[in-house]
Amino acid sequence: MLEDKLLDLANKISRTKRGKKNGITVEDPEYKILLPIITKDMADVALCLELRKPLSAEDVAPMCGKSVEKTSKLLWEVAVAGMAFVNKIDGVDKYWQELWVPGHMEMVVNNKENIVKYPELGAAFDAYGKKKGPVAAGIVPVGAGPMRVIPIEQSIDGETRNASYEEVSKFLNENTIFSVSDCACRTSREAMGEGCGHLKEDMCIQMGHAAEYYIRTGRGREITREEAFEVIQLAEENGLMHSIPNTDGPGKTHAICNCCGCGCFSMRIANMYTNPDMIRSNYVSVVDTDKCVGCGECVENCPTNALKLGRKICAETPVEETARELPYDTEWGEDKFNPDYRINREVVVDTGSSPCKAECPAHIGIQGYIKLAAQGRYTEALELIKQENPFPAVCGRVCPRYCESVCTRGDIDDPIAIDDIKKFIAEQDLNQDNRFVPKLRHHYGNKIAVIGAGPAGLSCAYYLALDGYKVTVFEKQKALGGMLTLGIPAFRLEKEVINAEIDILKELGVAFTTGVEIGKDVSLNDLRGQGFEAFYLAIGAQAGRTLGIEGENAAGVITGVDFLRSVNLGEETKLQGNVVVIGGGNVAIDVARTATRTGASNVDLFCLENRKEMPALDEEIEEAMEEKIVINNSWGPTRIITENGRVTGVEFKKCISIFDENKRFSPVYDESEMRVVEADHVLISVGQGIDWGDLIADSKIVLNPNKTIQADAVTFQTGEPDVFTGGDVLTGPKFAIDAIAFGKEGAISIHRYVQHGQSLTLGRIKREYTAFDKAELDLDSYDRLPRQTAKHADANPALVTFKDTRGTLTEEQIQKETERCLGCGSTVVDEFMCVGCGVCTTKCKFDAIKLVRKYDNANPEFKDMKSTIMKYALKRKVRIAVKKPVKAVKAAFAGGGAK
């Protein structure tokens, strides 16, 4: 029977006995991986093969009772299936068996036809790792596992004690034949629909006998040594690490895997089973806290979550380190495992890190770019910013400065002028003949449509373009930029700045189509028919809200959003006489200041809020008052007075409070205190709405009562699986930096959606940065240093100009201001979980983290691996036995049991 033959074969490769303890059964993955691909005849010849003993068809034929011709055909089929290696030795094809891992599991999964036809092969490989992982916890010494991390070579260049077997270049230079194949682990994840977003293609390098096998059986394509080095370089640039099969004897291997912590089955041993010793290199990461600026680049790229951001600045009470149990001398079971490691990564220690990074919606490495600016490394600073925010020149002018509101320096004197520093960095690039254009990370090529050219849509397009997607941005208006262009006046954000930022997207290959309204001129289904595979809806909150009071339809009454759009589009917008602006937010302030520049004699702004409650930024309110705009707090409009269909005034009544005891909006008025204000124009700026038009007609997209879109809180996927969203259309009106952050997350989701077998959530970093408690800090020893301020280009700006007269800090001021940064945060290393891969060192721009050799263990001879592990396991049992009574005594003393 086939079942019997397959069980015999599975047990032979496993070196177990059928029907005995630990013998393979039909429920085991070793059997299940054979079932779809091995016939009875194939099993007959495979059972005659030996572990690492090459045999020809002539050798096997008499053992299996078949002709040489038949045996030769079957052996080739076995090799193609992945259950035997084949190499031409002395002109003759010879076959042999390998281990399950590294070996047949990978070989089977790397058959490109079979993994598509039989996705259960990937599940079997996954199950094998889950079967072996728990039983191996704690019993394998460093250097003796079947797979082992090898450091990124540049990370150990300065280490005088490094050995040649720890260098990737050694293996590439010693071999003459190379192939590159898909990653078997990520192929399996993809087959199960559990991909992490790191794609499988052209990831793993084979050498020598493995390369010959992979090339001949179609698993990989032949490459040169130079191309192999290029594969290694690309992997490192994309934050991947290296592992090698560790079963070929000291200083030898037949493959180099380029791994991610969220997809690799070998790395799962560290991440899920908390057993990093089994796979680690001889190195661990060490952080120089004096150099570290807590930018977080190393943290987000660490494959084992061994790095987190913590606090560097001194506290009155130091953080206590708690002792941890280790598999080295502790019984290690499910209570020590981390089965959710692909979704529960943490980026910050429990006590928190820098407030500025935590408060920024995009979580930019603020300390990092401040330090780079201090060192005059402006292009690198810009590159770091653009990891999270493609539009620093824009945000340097209109950002709400959440980061500055929580800056620790503000508890000493004044917050760091973070936004001004960012503006200066971006300005250096804007003034360059050759501007910074990031290198493409990939060249995927799928067609993606972005609907709306505002900050969320542009951000999504930028990050998709970096991965080589063919992105087209569709914009209803004739101008790009969304509310950045049409909703913000030029005296705050000049259009040349926006266009300069968009120019970089064009350099990256993003296409723009303006004057096209999706839903009216072309539908989503039409675009699907044109080959677009996913959509990002980011049309913003582009419609003005009205008050619902008498007279607001009269001539001379318009919404502030419509007014700003007309001005920004260059349409004839001339105001005369008295202008009343209703609203207390930033847009209302922009409307009032724009009114002074379009002919208004007097501008009065009325809002329900008192001065302290006004949502507009203090800085903008002050600028409005400097321009003679009168702010009238705590007044609510009751009706607009008209004559012959045109506005003549507005009636207001006094507002006593705007919130009830539960902080809900519920204005209370003093009916006895009324006021009528003459007005030739009324500009209503009390919020923004969303005009969907026919965009989502006949779709499964669901809207909230306020017309914002419903979407998943993590992936931002809507009711239509291929439609994702972000920005104001999701959250309601917020700031550009909020929309930009949503745009990047949208790009991550779209990448995962359009690539086969990728999960939208598994392996996705939750960027939940939290700040430390500033009340615990000891800040008394810091000097007070004045905050640098930029001078206006015109000390007394004319109200008729739309030119942005705000200046930029000088280079001398940048040096002074960056010196004020306290450097609150720093990376913290969990030395036990660090596997010494060196990825962190490649991401650090400050030489603040390096690998230090802690172990001196070479991989053993294959024949000695089993005995090495058994001896280590026996010693571990002794350590556990000795530890138990000691632990019991300590517990007794702690509980008062000893008198």
- Note the pLDDT of residue 780: 84
Closest CA to 771 of 425, 459, 410, 422: 410
Q: Report residue 778's pLDDT band, with 50, 70 and 90 as the boundaries.
A: confident
Query: CA-to-CA distance for 460 and 725, rounded, in angstroms?
Result: 10
- DSSP, collapsed to helix, strand or coil, labels residue 40 as helix
Q: To the nearest whole percent, how much of the chain has pLDDT over 70?
A: 96
In the prediction, which pLDDT does 226 show? 97
DSSP at 642: E
In this predicted structure, the answer to whether residue 522 has a pLDDT above a threshold of 80 is yes
Check residues 771 and 795 and name the one with the higher pLDDT: 771
Say if residue 884's pLDDT is above 80: no
Query: Over the chain, what is the mean pLDDT?
Result: 93
For the residues 823-827, what does the mean pLDDT come to? 95
Dihedral (CA of 701, 704, 707, 710) sign: negative
Q: Which has the closest alpha carbon to 755: 442, 499, 320, 516?
A: 442
User: pLDDT of 420-469, one tens digit each?
Assistant: 999 999 999 999 888 999 999 999 999 999 999 999 999 999 999 999 99
Is pLDDT at 898 greater than 50 in this prediction?
no
Q: Are 398 and 505 in contact (CB under 8 A)?
A: no
- pLDDT, residue 433, reads 86
DSSP code per residue over 559-618 = EHHHHHHHHHTT------SEEEEE--SHHHHHHHHHHHTTT-SEEEEEESS-TTT--S-H
The yes-or-no verdict on residue 886 having pLDDT over 90 is no
Query: How would you class 152 by CB atoms within 10 Å of its CB: exposed for 0-12, middle for 13-18, buried for 19 or more?
Result: buried
**pLDDT at residue number 565:** 95
Give CA–CA dist 121/115, Å, rounded: 6
8 A C-beta contact, residue 457 and residue 743: yes
Instruction: Find the mean pLDDT for residues 84-107.
Output: 97
d(CA 662, CA 686): 22
Q: At what angle do helices 378-386 and 366-374 cross, to 10 degrees?
A: 170
Q: What pLDDT does residue 827 have?
A: 97
- Report percent pLDDT > 90 for the chain: 85
What mean pLDDT do residues 596-614 have?
Answer: 94
- pLDDT above 80 (res 894): no
For residues 226 and 220, the answer to whether their CB atoms sit within 8 Å is: no
632 compared with 157, residue with greater pLDDT: 632
**Each residue's pLDDT tens digit, 407-416:** 999 999 999 9
Q: What is the band of 899 on the pLDDT scale with cuts at 50, 70, 90? A: very low
- 102 cis-preceded (ω within 30 degrees of 0): yes
Alpha-carbon distances, residue 47 vs 28, 39, 44 (angstroms): 18, 12, 5
User: Residue with structure tokens 């999964």?
Assistant: 109
Please, how many CA atoms are within 13 Å of residue 697, restricted to the half-sphere of its CB? 10
Note the pLDDT of residue 383: 96
**Confidence bin at 160 (pLDDT 50/70/90):** low
Tokens of 737: 């930096």
Q: What is the pLDDT of residues 113-151, one digit of tens each?
A: 999 999 999 999 999 999 999 999 899 999 999 999 999
- The predicted pLDDT at position 661 comes to 78
| Cα 374 from Cα 769, distance rounded (Å) | 25
Q: What is the DSSP letter of 794?
A: S
Does residue 799 register a pLDDT over 60?
no
Q: What one-character DSSP code corresponds to residue 411? A: G
The average pLDDT across 50-59 equals: 97
- Answer for the pair 575, 681: CB distance below 8 angstroms, yes or no: yes
Give the model's confidence band at 770: pLDDT under 50 very low, under 70 low, under 90 confident, else very high.
very high
Determine how many CB atoms are found less than 10 A away from the CB of residue 53.
11
* Structure confidence at residue 658 as a pLDDT band (50, 70, 90): confident
Reply yes or no on whether the pLDDT at 550 is more than 70: yes
- Chain CA centroid to CA 475, Å: 27
Question: What CA–CA distances, in Å, run from 445 to 235, 601, 891?
Answer: 19, 55, 61
Query: Which residues make beta-bridge pairs with 604?
Result: 580, 630
User: Residue 573: pLDDT band by 50, 70, 90 thresholds?
Assistant: confident
pLDDT surpasses 90 at 291: yes
